[in-house]
């Protein structure tokens, strides 16, 4: 079992005035997937008027070192991400 759960915040998270790169690094390390999910829920409570953050498990063929990605959906429309 891994010691940590690494999540990358995608560009869409920083496009709206939701989270800033001054507040959060591009990659956030959690002790577990459950902790990452709880963090996303907390962020959504604080910023629900703007849209929703979602946590997506990295694809098995993903060559990065992250376990999951967080993306932002602005009030009913998907924001293109890179």
Give the span between the Cα atoms of 34 and 14, in whole angstroms. Answer: 23
Give the span between the Cα atoms of 10 and 71, in whole angstroms. Answer: 6
The pLDDT-based confidence of 74 (bands split at 50, 70, 90) is: confident
- Residue with the bigger pLDDT between 47 and 34: it is 34
Give the span between the Cα atoms of 33 and 38, in whole angstroms. Answer: 9
Q: What per-residue confidence (pLDDT) applies to 80?
A: 56
- Residue with the bigger pLDDT between 19 and 34: it is 34
Handedness of CA 37, 68, 66, 27 (dihedral sign): negative
Give the span between the Cα atoms of 10 and 21, in whole angstroms. Answer: 11
Percent of the chain with pLDDT over 70: 78
Q: What per-residue confidence (pLDDT) applies to 38?
A: 96
């Amino acid at each position: 079992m891994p010691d940590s759960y690494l999540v990358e915040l995608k560009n869409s998270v920083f496009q709206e005035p939701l989270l800033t790169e001054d507040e959060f690094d591009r990659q956030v390390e959690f002790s577990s997937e459950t902790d990452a999910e709880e963090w996303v829920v907390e962020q959504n409570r604080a910023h629900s008027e703007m849209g929703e953050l979602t946590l997506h498990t990295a694809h098995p063929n993903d060559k990065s070192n992250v376990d999951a990605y967080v993306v932002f959906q602005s009030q009913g429309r998907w924001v293109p991400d890179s």
